[in-house]
Amino acid sequence: MAHISEERLVEMTSDMIRIKSYYGVPNQETGVAKYVKSIFDANDILCYLKEVDDGRCNVIATLESGKPGKTIMFNCHIDTVEPNGWEEAFEPKIVDGKLYGRGSIDDKGPLACVIEAMLAIKSTGALEKGKIVLTGVLDEERNSIGTIDVVESKILTDAVVIAESTNFEIQTCQRGLEWLKFHFIDKAVHGCLQREGINAISKAVKFCTVLDEKLIPEFYAKTHPVLKEATINYGVIHGGTQLSIVAGECDVYVDTRFLPYQDYNEVLGKFQAVLDDLAAKDPEFKCEMSVSEAAALKDGYLHLSFETPLDHPVVTSLQTAIETATEEEAKIGYMPSWTDGGLARYGLEYPTVILGPYGDNAHNKDEFIPVDQLTKAALINALVAVDFCHS
């Protein structure tokens, strides 16, 4: 703890909040990447920038012991969402012990905690075996091309810690995800000639009814000891052009979350079977299913689930680190949303966990991280890194 500075943690987090890195900013994340590199350069820790997409860069830092041991990778994203109407989003401030600003908890605060852990380990010479790698990645909030580049660069590691807000709960698994678009195509006519048309909205309603009555209960019946259940939600419907015309087209967007033991193609096949059954019963039923462009990853990649055994060394090392740093029993849980942790499966089946401090209002106005969480998270990161690399 003597080598972990709350003042420096607040300074690093605040500096990164000031550097805008949301979609639409030129070279979006590269300003943050250069800032991170400058810190490691000043402390003689190997660091480099990797251009991934038209001036947008990942930042990769490595702290080596020089002796054989395990490697642990901390993965943090350096992009944020837009300010979304928050006028002071990039003006960090501390109020009642909370550091406010866009990215404070998602994900610049957790990133600062990994940097500080590496600085503390370097200062103390505590790393006697193995290697620590930080991958500061771009584009996590959209198409995850930063972590995909890490996977394709074949940066070898024995475990991955995704640094996201978990309130120090060790999240050992997450569901897979897919956003599907169902495009219903029928016959538009003037509303006064309704019987001569085919209403796409009506067909979409039939589809949603089958989801409610059959497929959603079937998915809820899929259970998991940690992740609980698989889910389906139809969240957006667009149909028709105006009130006086029978709707010739309608789009339904569905969010589905599936469990580690569910095969991706089998999941999509369940939806296709519903469409095929409705078409067999109704010759006028026409629908095309596709992956929503908003969720599409690079060709060859999917939003897969992951699951790490509870007795894996990275989990047990984290349990010890958390109990040492917080003097509370470590908790095991799951990530309810999707993170880049699902992409670790495209490497060498890297064991992956998600772990980070408490914070609130990510993506919303008044996003914050409590200042005292910064030092706790930095200490936990340092302890787990040394313990895991030495094990």
Whether the CB-CB separation of 170 and 353 falls below 8 Å is answered with yes
Percent of the chain, pLDDT > 70? 97
188 has a pLDDT exceeding 60: no
Structure tokens at 258: 């599936």
Question: Which residue in 18, 114, 132 sits closest to 69, CA to CA?
Answer: 132
- Using CA atoms, how far apart are residues 6 and 371, in angstroms rounded to an integer? 8
Question: Contacts for 240-243 with beta carbons within 8 Å, 24 or more apart?
Answer: 240/200, 240/201, 241/188, 243/191
Q: What CATH number belongs to 6-174+305-390?
A: 3.40.630.10
What integer pLDDT is reported at residue 185 of this predicted model?
87
Which pLDDT belongs to residue 303? 93
User: pLDDT band for position 176 (50/70/90)?
Assistant: very high
Q: Is the pLDDT of residue 194 over 90?
A: no
pTM: 0.92
Residue 296 has what pLDDT? 85
| Distance of alpha carbon 33 from alpha carbon 326, whole angstroms | 30
Average confidence (pLDDT) over 311-331: 96
pLDDT tens digits, 261-304: 999 999 999 999 999 999 999 999 999 999 998 888 999 999 99
Average pLDDT over all residues of the chain: 94
Query: According to the model, what pLDDT value does residue 391 have?
Result: 86
317 pLDDT exceeds 70? yes
Q: What are phi and psi of 239, to 5 degrees?
A: -155, 145
What pLDDT shows up at residue 187? 62
Q: What is the CATH number of domain 177-295?
A: 3.30.70.360
CB burial of residue 118 (10 Å; 0-12, 13-18, 19+): buried
- Element containing residue 144 per DSSP (H, E): none
Burial class of residue 311 (count of CB atoms within 10 Å of its CB; 0-12, 13-18, 19+)? exposed
Strands (E), 337-391: 352-354, 368-370
Structure tokens at 86: 């928050």
| High-pLDDT (> 90) share of the chain, % | 88
DSSP H helical ranges for 282-333 = 313-326
Mean pLDDT for 323-336 is 95
Q: For residues 34 and 172, what is the distance between their CA atoms, to the nearest angstrom?
A: 31
Based on its alpha-carbon atoms, the radius of gyration of the chain, rounded to whole angstroms, reads 24
Least confident of 187-191, 218-222, 299-303, 356-360: 187-191
Write down the H helix ranges in 255-357: 264-281, 313-326
> What tokens were used for 59?
């930042």
**DSSP symbols for 86-121:** -TTTTS-EEETTEEESTTTTTTHHHHHHHHHHHHHH
The DSSP line for 227-270 is TEE-EEEEEEEEE-S-TTB--SEEEEEEEEEE-TTS-HHHHHHH
Q: Name beta bridge partners: 193.
A: none
| Averaged pLDDT for residues 307-318 | 96
Look at residue 349 in the predicted model and tell me its pLDDT.
85
Instruction: Parse the chain into domains and list their residue ranges.
Output: 6-174+305-390, 177-295
Band of the pLDDT at 243, cuts 50, 70, 90?
Answer: confident
Residue environment code for 223-241, b if the CB has 16+ CB neighbours within 10 A, otherwise e: ebeebeebbbebeeeebee
Q: Which helix (H) or strand (E) is 59 found in, with range?
A: strand 56-64
Return the DSSP state at 167: T
Task: Tell me the Ramachandran region of residue 129: left when phi exceeds 0, alpha when psi lies from -120 to 50, beta otherwise.
Answer: beta
